Amino acid sequence: MAANSRVTIAAHALAWLELARRQGRGVLTSEEVAASVNTNAVVVRRSLGDLRRAGLVTARRGKGAGFCLGRPAAEITLLDVWLAVSPEPLLALHHCEPNLACPVGRGIRPVLTGLYDEATDAFRTALAHWTVTDVLERTLA
């Protein structure tokens, strides 16, 4: 299984939008963001669409069309980004019920569910400590 890179693409896009804002360019096109991410603009537009629906970016149409931050970068956490672009859970149980006649199959689901919930809480807490500003500052250092 491939790792989910949606948060990486979204964080990159947001950091680039913040740097552009600092440089006096408040709006970037999806093509400009895609050039920085080095991916197809369609992938970036999908990510920016998720971020727009979450209020993390705004889209401008017409003359000067493009995307800009929906709120200050210092107020956008990586948890906000993850919640905006990652619809599936961090960890999930297998979709098939295990063999309940097996002692492991009978008891594994509640054990793993508790462990996965604990791991997800720790992951969310870690992401909540980082903002887009933090990511950009470390990137530029």
Q: What is the pLDDT of residues 28-43, one digit of tens each?
A: 999 999 999 999 999 9
CA nearest neighbour of 44 among 129, 111, 36, 107 = 36
| CA dist., res. 32 & res. 66, Å (int) | 9
Mean pLDDT, residues 118-124 taken together: 94
Ordered by start, the domain boundaries in the chain are 6-140
Q: Contact, 30 vs 67, CB < 8 A?
A: yes
Q: What is the per-residue pLDDT for 3?
A: 60
Q: What is the per-residue pLDDT for 2?
A: 53
How is domain 6-140 classified at the CATH fold level? Arc Repressor Mutant, subunit A (1.10.10)
Amino acid at 83: L
Amino acid at 101: A
The model carries a pTM of: 0.89
pLDDT digits (tens, 9 = 90+) for 64-118: 889 999 999 999 999 999 999 987 788 888 888 899 999 999 999 999 999 999 9
Q: What is the per-residue pLDDT for 133?
A: 98
Q: What is the per-residue pLDDT for 1?
A: 44
SS3 67: strand
CA–CA distances in Å: residue 120 to residues 90, 114, 125, 128? 6, 10, 8, 12
Show the tokens assigned to 57.
């970016």
Q: What is the largest CA-CA distance in the chain?
A: 66
Phi, psi at 59, each rounded to 5°: -115, 135
Mean pLDDT, residues 10-25 taken together: 96
